[in-house]
Amino acid sequence: MIISIGNDHAGTHHKKQVQLTLESKGIKVINHGTDSDESVDYPDLAHPVAEDVKNKKANLGIVICGSGNGVAMTANKHSDIRAAICWSKEMASLAREHNDANIISIPARFVSIEETKQIIEVFLNTSFEGGRHKRRTEKINIK
Q: Which sequence positions are flagged as catalytic?
A: 65, 98
Cα–Cα–Cα angle for 101, 40, 50, nearest 5°? 25
Q: How far is CA 103 from CA 36, 37, 56, in A?
A: 22, 23, 12
End-to-end CA distance of the chain: 30
Sign of CA dihedral 75, 71, 104, 36: positive
